[in-house]
A and B are shown apart, each in its own frame.
Chain A
Amino acid sequence: MKGLKTKNSLVGLLFVSPWIIGFAIFTAFPLLYSLFLSFQKVKITTSGIQTEFIRFENFQYAFVVDAIYTERLTKYLEEMIISVPIIIVFSLIIALLLNQRIKFRGMFRTIFFLPVIIASGPVMKELIDQGITTIPTIEKYAIYQALTESPDGFLNGILLYLIKNLIMILWFSGVQILIFIAALQKMDKQIYEAAKIDGASNWESFWKVTLPSLFPMIIVNTIYTIVMYSMFSLNPIIEHIQTNMFKVDTGFGYASALSWIYFLIIALALALSVGAMTLKGKKNYN
């Protein structure tokens, strides 16, 4: 019996072995190698790649000299902090609407998932260039005019970004809507009936029943949103990494340092948001 067990586990390992090999070659090793490169000055010569250890100079350069990078990083963080909650709340609202007993549900679902299919970087860029990533005719409203007249200041800048790119932000929510719908449909109808018998209104049962049971999905969606938002090909940071990669005076070493800084910031953002949400969730719902 024991022999069968070891045999089974060997077969299992055989099945996952492609991933283990691939992970070692294409992910783990490159991760370490780019960490190594980030402390080096990399020169490409005819005989191959030459590296020279320069300690933390690349990182120093990124934060002290390279004003574009730090500026883009702060802008990215600001935009993410306001975009992610909007995406989550929006997809939750749409999911709740689509979860009602309505006609044409399939059609609406098809519409709200469409952007996931077509929103590649170049397409989005065309749309932004045309100025059609916002609510139609928004420029006629007073609030927009007031904002464009005084574009300075933290809040104004953010609001302006929000208004100008509203549709683009909402277009990130296709998958999240479907995740919420799937979770809503798996919920037990009896809980609602029980809540109703106890005298809860729809409003109350949304806050006390629906939201707490959706809580894990909110975390999943937050992770998904942050990751997708950070890796979108129009993101100015990854563009900056690419340009530095092929620049003579900065090169692979500096680009590696930039990518590692970016990676750590994404990881930190994920850890902070998920951590804060679980803490709050524990306090509220347990």
Chain B
Amino acid sequence: MQNSKTQQLDKYYLKSKRFFLGMQGTDGLLFKVLVYGLLVGIGFVYLFPVIYMGIFSFKSLDDLLNPMINWIPTQFYLDNYTKANHVLNFFSTLMETLYVTVLPAIAQTAVAAVIGYGLARFEFRGKKVLFVLVLATFIIPPQVTMIPRYIFFNELNILGSLKAFMLPAAFGQGLNSAIFILIFYQFFRMVPKALEEAAQIDGAGHFRIFFTIALPMAVPAIIISFLFSFVWYWNETYLAAIYFGDALTTLPLQLQKFVATYEKMFPAEMGLEGNQLNEGIKMAGTILSILPLLIVYFITQRWFVEGVDRSGITGE
């Protein structure tokens, strides 16, 4: 009798142990709670600045000054956004930003596809050296080549025009071009050659094969390269400020000048309390400047996440 009772207890003990700690140490309840707890906690801290921005952009001046109001504004206040929209000149700046980011991104993707195909599918002398050079361009800081390029563009008279971004991009020397070439190189190396060889036997030339067979297969790589390229050009402010001067502007550049523009638009001496620049307006401006990127990201996030897989740096 006693014996069977301890056996019973043992059984419960083992059962609960299995429930909490799991069979292998990675499937028990405690472990799961720990993993989710960590992910949610770190995720919150990670996103904290974004959440903060979102909340503050909806706060009126009263809410900002009231120490009791932390997380939930008392009213759905949109004035900050109308002001920020005004200061950034949102829609025309957005159009200009798209103009200076989409076109270089397309050029960079197209050229990276051609070069990646050449490196993946053909053998020629000096290919290894070339490949090493492509990768080496990744670690050269843009500042080293910036001054000679500036002088060069000045002589060509293309400073302040989109060509200052387009020309390097169209020759595979744009922002992080090495990464895009690597993506296409890995992609073309992974797809089987059979189809191309069949076309070759049928008498198709190399360029026809590239355009009609290889490129249509490479749609995932094209999308990934375009998206990364787009985001990186969008966020580039250092080179944009130097090459474009005042001729072209982007949303991040407008955000950089936000305070100055605001003070010009709403001079302080007008004496109206509500016209002072406050952090609510600034946060609304910041949100507006990243809003287009956020929309693009949430629609296409699958491609961004897969992009790293496709680049093949994890080795095949």
Residues of A bordering B, CB below 8 Å:
5, 8-16, 18-23, 25-27, 29-31, 33-34, 37, 49, 94, 97-98, 100-102, 106, 108-123, 125-127, 129-130, 132-133, 135-136, 167, 170-171, 175, 178-179, 181-183, 186, 196, 201-202, 216-217, 220, 223, 227, 230-231, 233, 238, 241-242, 245, 252, 255-256, 259-260, 262-263, 266-267, 270
24 pairs across A/B with beta carbons < 8 Å?
A9-B125, A15-B118, A19-B172, A26-B167, A30-B147, A34-B148, A97-B35, A102-B39, A111-B46, A113-B305, A120-B237, A122-B237, A122-B252, A130-B52, A132-B48, A167-B45, A178-B307, A179-B308, A201-B25, A233-B237, A252-B147, A259-B141, A259-B144, A259-B147
Task: Determine whether the beta carbon of A27 is less than 8 Å from that of B52.
Answer: no
| Chain B residues with CB under 8 A of A9 | 122-125
Q: Give complex CA distance A135, B47 in Å.
A: 10
Complex Cα distance, B53 from A171, in Å, reads: 16
Taking A15-B118, A100-B26, A118-B293 as contacts, is the C-beta distance between A126 and B48 under 8 angstroms? no
Q: Convert B42-63 into 0s and 1s, putting 1 for each residue whose CB lies closer than 8 angstroms to a CB of A.
A: 1101111110110010000000
Known: A217-B314, A267-B139. 19 other contacts (CB 8 A): A9-B124, A15-B122, A19-B111, A22-B168, A23-B173, A26-B149, A27-B173, A30-B152, A110-B305, A111-B46, A112-B46, A121-B235, A121-B237, A122-B256, A178-B305, A183-B315, A196-B24, A233-B236, A245-B150
Q: Beyond A100-B26, A259-B146, is A12–B123 a contact (Cβ under 8 Å)?
A: yes
Inter-chain CA distance A18–B117, complex, in Å, is 12
* Closest Cβ neighbor of B312 among chain A residues: A182
Hey, which chain B residues are within 8 Å of A126, CB to CB? 255, 282-283, 285-286
B148 in contact with A37 (CB, 8 Å): yes
In the bound complex, what is the Cα–Cα distance between A201 and B26 (angstroms)?
Answer: 11
Do A111 and B43 touch (CB < 8 A)?
yes
B124 & A12 in contact (Cβ 8 Å cutoff): yes
Establish whether residues A132 and B141, one from each chain, have CB atoms under 8 Å apart when the complex forms.
no
Task: State the total of A-B contacts with C-beta under 8 angstroms.
Answer: 257
CB distance from A145 to the nearest CB of B (A): 20
Contact B143 A113 (CB under 8 A): no
